[in-house]
Structure 1
Amino acid sequence: MKLDPQTDLKLERVIHVPRPLVWACWTTPEHILQFFVPRPHKVLACDIDLRVGGRFNTLFEVDGNEMRNEGVWLEIIPQQKLVFTDSYSEGWKPAAEPFLTAILLLEDEGADSTRYTAIARHRTPEAREMHEQMGFFSGWGVVVDQLEDYARSLPLDKG
């Protein structure tokens, strides 16, 4: 996948969790609640309709304030790729102030590990720069750590 350094940010890591379990964590609301934002912030609610055009809505608590994020899935390749955006909400309703399109790529890396690639695509270089300054690498890195810790606590067949 060709990235544009002016508008894209990329985080890539190998995590010691089998890919089916990572997929389950990313596609199940109960699991999203456990890792999706850096602690001490938290996800209060998550609603997923896992189909292209389906909703991916979350409600966060950040510093005592509730923040709603509504989005849709743009591409789904089971066990391999998720693409979602906040540019639209369900029913293809355009967002007033879209921020990003996110791409999550999952590949096997050995028997029980996953190459985890997260890409954040922005509309402008200024939005990309703002996201980097907000802590993209540290924040999304913490989320990957939380995901790995949480997923390792789950039995593979119950992901």
Structure 2
Amino acid sequence: MNTSNEMNNRTITIKRTFNAPISLVWEAWTQSEHIAKWWSPKGIKTIVVTHDFKVGGKWKYIMPMPNGQEFIAEGEYTEIIEFEKIVSTANFKPMTEGVEIHSLFRPNGDKTVFTFHVVHPTEEYKIQQEKMGIMNGWGSVFERLDALLKNK
């Protein structure tokens, strides 16, 4: 089996171009005070509990939901290449667990080309997540990031 194809079959990818320099997009992704402003869907607050931005460092964000429940996002950084790539394990409880997220950054003049991969343990789990609306959820989050970058 081709490992690349197998990984592609387990991966959801979102691509965007942000109208901001890579240094600003990187800052928004790596500094907790910025993450708190965009990491959740519109109307939901993000509380940064832990953000140890280094390989082996852990992160945990809590998003209180309108119904009183908490949505917990947490993981561990496994690879960081400044201004290029952030890889992390990730759990988004209670909806998604055991995934890996790859955030890739590429400068394009004064803009940033951003590619976001969510790698699932199995193709079946990926399909389940697609049906649950993962694209809409992350799309909303990245709209908030885009708005934050425009205001910087």
Whether these two folds match at TM > 0.5 is yes
Does residue 15 of structure 2 align to residue 15 of structure 1?
Answer: no
TM-score norm. by structure 2 comes to: 0.85
Distance 2:29 2:119 in 1: 19
Does residue 130 of structure 2 align to residue 132 of structure 1?
Answer: yes
> Is the CA contact (8 Å cut-off) linking 1:32 and 1:46 kept in structure 2?
no
Q: Cα distance 1:47–1:105, how it changes in 2: closer, same or farther (>3 A)?
A: same
Q: Which moved more, 1:125-134 or 1:21-30?
A: 125-134
Q: Which moved more, 1:138-147 or 1:16-25?
A: 138-147
Q: Which runs of 5+ in 1 are unaligned?
A: 88-96, 155-159
Which aligned pairs between 1:4-153 and structure 2 lie closer than 5 A?
4-63=7-66, 64-86=68-90, 98-110=97-109, 112-153=110-151
Distance 1:46 1:108 in 2: 30
- Deviation track 1:24-73 (CA, whole Å, cap 9, x = no partner) reads 01111111111111112221224211111101111112333112232100
Aligned residues: 144
> Is the CA contact (8 Å cut-off) linking 1:99 and 1:127 kept in structure 2?
no
Distance 1:135 1:147 in 2: 19
Distance 2:70 2:138 in 1: 20
Distance 2:52 2:98 in 1: 21
Structure in which a larger fraction of residues adopt strand: 2
Q: Sequence identity, in percent?
A: 29
Distance 2:82 2:65 in 1: 31
Q: Which runs of 5+ in 2 are unaligned?
A: none
